[in-house]
Amino acid sequence: MLSKKLQKALNDQMQAEMSSAYIYFSMSSWFKAQNLNGFASWMSLQAQEEMDHVMKIYGYIHDRGGEVELRALPAPQKSWKSPLAVFQDTYKHEQKITGRINDLCALADSDNDNATRVLLNWFVTEQVEEEANVLGVVETLKMIEGHPGGIYMLDKEMAGRSASPEVA
């Protein structure tokens, strides 16, 4: 059985993951409006991955006999000044999510809840990958800043992202 404290923290995390999906859908929509369809597709897949993260926690809370609480989501930002600003925000957001996962790990450890720790270990690994992917895009965008041709080429490359097996 999950402790009440851990159950609340996992429900909070579910809200944070759903909120991430909302933010990334908003970013995808902004890219679409700029006619940057490769970036839009990349962000849409990112949003779908976040929903997959929600479902992982949702299933886990049920498996442990806990109670799922679905919360209201804040409305996401609607526009950005450049593709670089979008990805800088994404990187900051993912760092925040990593911090939340680390706090959850500490809570699971203090509860001696090994099953939750195993669930969270997946998220620890996932965050390393997410931060690295996003930072890679930030660095590329910095390199090509002010060069529309570079943005055009990167947009084509971003279109090549395919869904992860869990999302496909």
Binding site for ligand FEO (CB under 6 A): 17, 20, 50, 53, 94, 97, 130
> Least Å distance between CB 39 and ligand FEO?
17
> Least Å distance between CB 13 and ligand FEO?
9
> Least Å distance between CB 101 and ligand FEO?
8
- Cα 130 to Cα 30, 76, 85: the distances in Å are 21, 20, 17
> Least Å distance between CB 20 and ligand FEO?
5
Strand, helix or coil at 82?
coil
Which CB, 53 or 87, lies closer to ligand FEO? 53
DSSP symbols for 86-137: HHHHHHHHHHHHHHHHHHHHHHHHHTT-HHHHHHHHHHHHHHHHHHHHHHHH
> Least Å distance between CB 54 and ligand FEO?
8
114-143 helix and 83-110 helix, angle to the nearest 10 degrees: 160
* Neighbouring residues of 16: CB distance < 8 A, sequence distance ≥ 6: 97, 100
Closest CB to ligand FEO: residue number: 53
Which CB, 53 or 61, lies closer to ligand FEO? 53
Which CB, 40 or 97, lies closer to ligand FEO? 97
Which CB, 45 or 53, lies closer to ligand FEO? 53
Which CB, 17 or 113, lies closer to ligand FEO? 17
DSSP symbols for 127-167: HHHHHHHHHHHHHHHHHTTT-HHHHHHHHHHHTT----TTT
